[in-house]
């Protein structure tokens, strides 16, 4: 079946430069396709789609934690 975008959250038990505040801010309001794929972009897309903020009605999302 097709479940659409999937958000994957992880706890690496150590700081990683991939998940700092600077990276988060870069992906907060970026245009699709302007930055390389990243978990923050997937999370933002899933969240805004769930709320219906992407120009359509709200849609259910699958988030695996």
Three-state SS for 9-38 is: CCCCCCCCHHHCHHHHHHHHCCCCCCCCCC
* pLDDT tens figures, 21-62: 888 888 776 777 788 888 788 887 888 888 888 677 888 877
- For the chain, the domains span 1-8+18-64
Provide the whole-model pTM: 0.56
Q: Six-digit token pair at 25?
A: 């801010």
Q: Is the dihedral of CA 11, 3, 55, 33 positive or negative?
A: positive
Residue 3: band (very low, low, confident or very high) from pLDDT cuts 50, 70, 90 = low
Strand 6-8 relative to strand 62-64, pairing: parallel
């Amino acid at each position: 079946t097709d479940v659409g975008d999937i958000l994957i959250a992880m706890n690496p038990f150590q700081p990683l430069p991939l998940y700092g505040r600077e990276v988060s801010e870069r992906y907060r309001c970026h245009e699709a396709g302007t930055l390389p794929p990243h978990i923050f972009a997937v999370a933002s897309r899933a969240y805004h789609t769930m709320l219906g903020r992407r120009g359509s009605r709200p849609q259910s999302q699958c988030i695996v934690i």
